[in-house]
Amino acid sequence: MDEHLNKGGPRALLVRDRRYAIRHPFAADAECLDMEAGTSATGVTSDLSMGGCFVCTSKPFPLGSRVRLTLTRKDQTVEALAVVRIVKPRIGMGIEFLDIGEKYHGTLERWLEQLRRIR
């Protein structure tokens, strides 16, 4: 596991260099609320994993922003508290889930199980 951690450089904290969950192509409507600034953004996911997703939006939030994320697909919803880990200006943002609402775990797991079967 240590090979996945960056121990050198200017960052004093250990930082993961690799994702820990397989990403699957997945489209869902995404609503994001920056919990500090109070601004919102909408977009569409391009991929999904148990650890997070990428939201395509023309106005991504700054790196490190804490967000309340709502994903909606075919009348099913998943809500999570998350953090922006990657920003691609005018393209979108990579979001890591921090806490998924308990009542949404089953929906997220069903989405991912369907995606695994398609592969």
Helix then strand then coil, in percent of the chain rounded to 5, is 15, 45, 35
Distance between start and end Cα atoms, the chain: 27
**pTM, rounded to two decimals:** 0.81
Domains along the chain with CATH numbers: 21-118 (2.40.10.220)
The per-residue pLDDT string of the chain (119 residues; one tens digit each, 9 = 90 and over) reads 444 444 444 444 444 445 567 888 999 999 999 999 999 999 999 999 999 999 999 999 999 999 999 999 999 999 999 999 999 999 999 999 999 989 999 999 999 998 888 76
